[in-house]
Amino acid sequence: MSTPFPFTAVVGQDDLRLALLLNAVSPAVGGVLVRGEKGTAKSTAVRALSALLPGVDVIAGCRFSCDPAAPDPGCPDGPHEAGAGTQRPARMVELPVGASEDRLVGALDIERALAEGVKAFEPGLLADAHRGILYVDEVNLLHDHLVDLLLDAAAMGASYVEREGVSVRHAARFLLVGTMNPEEGELRPQLLDRFGLTVEVSASREPDQRVEVVRRRLAYDDDPDGFAARWGEEEAAVRARIVGARELLPSVRLGDGALRQIAATCAAFEVDGMRADIVMARTATALAAWAGRTDVLAEDVRQAALLALPHRRRRNPFDAPGLDEDKLDETLQEFGGPEDDDPDPDGPGGGGGQPSPEEGPGGGDTGARPEAGEGGEPQASGSGEQQPVRASEPFRTKALTVPGLGEGAAGRRSRARTEHGRTTGARRPQGALTKLHLAATVQAAAPHQLARGRSGPGLVVRRDDLRQATREGREGNLVLFVVDASGSMAARQRMSAVKGAVLSLLLDAYQRRDKVGLVTFRGSTAEVALPPTSSVDAAAARLESLPTGGRTPLAAGLLKAHDVLRVERLRDPARRALVVVVTDGRATGGAEPVALSSRAARLLAADGVASVVVDCESGPVRLGLAEQLAGELDGTAVTLDELRADSIAGLVRNVQGTQRTARRAA
366: confidence class by pLDDT, cuts 50, 70, 90: very low
Yes or no: say if 104 and 124 are a contact pair by the CB < 8 Å rule: yes
CATH number (domain holding residue 284):
1.10.8.80
DSSP 42: H
Say which amino acid occupies 218: L
Give tens-digit pLDDT for 124-148: 899 999 988 899 888 887 877 788 7
Rounded distance between C-alpha atoms, residue 126 and residue 131, angstroms: 10
**In degrees rounded to 5, what are phi and psi of residue 603?**
-65, -45
Residues in the chain: 666
Are residue 197 and residue 137 in the same domain, yes or no?
Answer: yes
* Residue 217 confidence (pLDDT) above 50: yes
What are the residues facing 200 on neighbouring strands? Answer: 35
pLDDT given for residue 315 in this prediction: 59
pLDDT given for residue 638 in this prediction: 93
51: confidence class by pLDDT, cuts 50, 70, 90: confident
Are residue 456 and residue 579 in the same domain, yes or no?
Answer: no
* Mean per-residue pLDDT, 257-279: 91
Rounded distance between C-alpha atoms, residue 82 and residue 591, angstroms: 85
Are residue 504 and residue 591 in the same domain, yes or no?
Answer: yes
pLDDT given for residue 55 in this prediction: 84
Rounded distance between C-alpha atoms, residue 402 and residue 514, angstroms: 12
* Residue 369 confidence (pLDDT) above 70: no
Are residue 3 and residue 122 in the same domain, yes or no?
Answer: yes
SS (H, E, C) 248-261: HHHHCECCHHHHHH
pLDDT given for residue 604 in this prediction: 94
Say which amino acid occupies 279: V
Are residue 572 and residue 584 in the same domain, yes or no?
Answer: yes
CATH number (domain holding residue 647):
3.40.50.410
What are the residues facing 423 on neighbouring strands? Answer: 471
Yes or no: say if 282 and 28 are a contact pair by the CB < 8 Å rule: yes
Lowest mean pLDDT among 201-205, 267-271, 529-533, 564-568: 201-205
Q: Given phi > 0 = left and psi -120 to 50 = alpha, else beta, which region is 513?
A: left
Closest by Cα among 489, 498, 543 to 516: 543
Rounded distance between C-alpha atoms, residue 613 and residue 481, angstroms: 10
662: confidence class by pLDDT, cuts 50, 70, 90: low
Yes or no: say if 328 and 369 are a contact pair by the CB < 8 Å rule: no
Mean pLDDT over all residues of the chain? Answer: 82
The total domain count for the chain is: 4
- 15 within a domain of the structure (yes/no): yes
Residue-number span of the structural domain to which 184 is assigned: 1-72+82-218
Highest mean pLDDT among 195-209, 346-360, 368-382, 385-399: 195-209
- 240 within a domain of the structure (yes/no): no
- 367 within a domain of the structure (yes/no): no
Lowest mean pLDDT among 37-41, 391-395, 400-404, 498-502: 37-41
Are residue 57 and residue 193 in the same domain, yes or no?
Answer: yes
What are the residues facing 521 on neighbouring strands? Answer: 484, 526
* Residue 341 confidence (pLDDT) above 50: no
Give the Cα-Cα-Cα angle 538, 540, 546 (nearest 5 degrees): 105
pLDDT given for residue 661 in this prediction: 54
Are residue 277 and residue 140 in the same domain, yes or no?
Answer: no
Are residue 38 and residue 153 in the same domain, yes or no?
Answer: yes
Are residue 460 and residue 489 in the same domain, yes or no?
Answer: no
Active site residue 91: no
Q: What percent of the chain has pLDDT over 90?
A: 30
pLDDT given for residue 352 in this prediction: 40
Are residue 486 and residue 522 in the same domain, yes or no?
Answer: yes
Are residue 394 and residue 525 in the same domain, yes or no?
Answer: yes
* Mean per-residue pLDDT, 29-55: 84
* Residue 358 confidence (pLDDT) above 70: no
More confident residue, 376 or 341: 341
* Residue 346 confidence (pLDDT) above 60: no
Give tens-digit pLDDT for 541-594: 888 888 888 888 999 999 999 999 999 999 989 999 999 999 998 888 777 888
pLDDT given for residue 657 in this prediction: 54
Closest by Cα among 583, 410, 378, 389 to 513: 410
Lowest mean pLDDT among 186-190, 211-215, 630-634: 186-190
pLDDT given for residue 113 in this prediction: 61
648: confidence class by pLDDT, cuts 50, 70, 90: low
Q: Of 91, 216, 275, 417, which residue is the catalytic one?
A: 275
pLDDT given for residue 565 in this prediction: 95
pLDDT given for residue 241 in this prediction: 93
pLDDT given for residue 112 in this prediction: 63
- 373 within a domain of the structure (yes/no): no
pLDDT given for residue 253 in this prediction: 93
* Residue 157 confidence (pLDDT) above 90: no
pLDDT given for residue 518 in this prediction: 93
The gap between the terminal CA atoms of the chain, to the nearest Å, is 58
What are the residues facing 246 on neighbouring strands? Answer: none
- 520 within a domain of the structure (yes/no): yes
* Mean per-residue pLDDT, 214-243: 91
pLDDT given for residue 407 in this prediction: 87
- 588 within a domain of the structure (yes/no): yes
pLDDT given for residue 105 in this prediction: 87
* Residue 499 confidence (pLDDT) above 80: yes
pLDDT given for residue 344 in this prediction: 47
CB atoms within 10 A of CB 163: 17
CATH number (domain holding residue 177):
3.40.50.300
- 433 within a domain of the structure (yes/no): yes
**In degrees rounded to 5, what are phi and psi of residue 166?**
-100, 125
Are residue 481 and residue 574 in the same domain, yes or no?
Answer: yes
- 365 within a domain of the structure (yes/no): no
Rounded distance between C-alpha atoms, residue 598 and residue 632, angstroms: 7
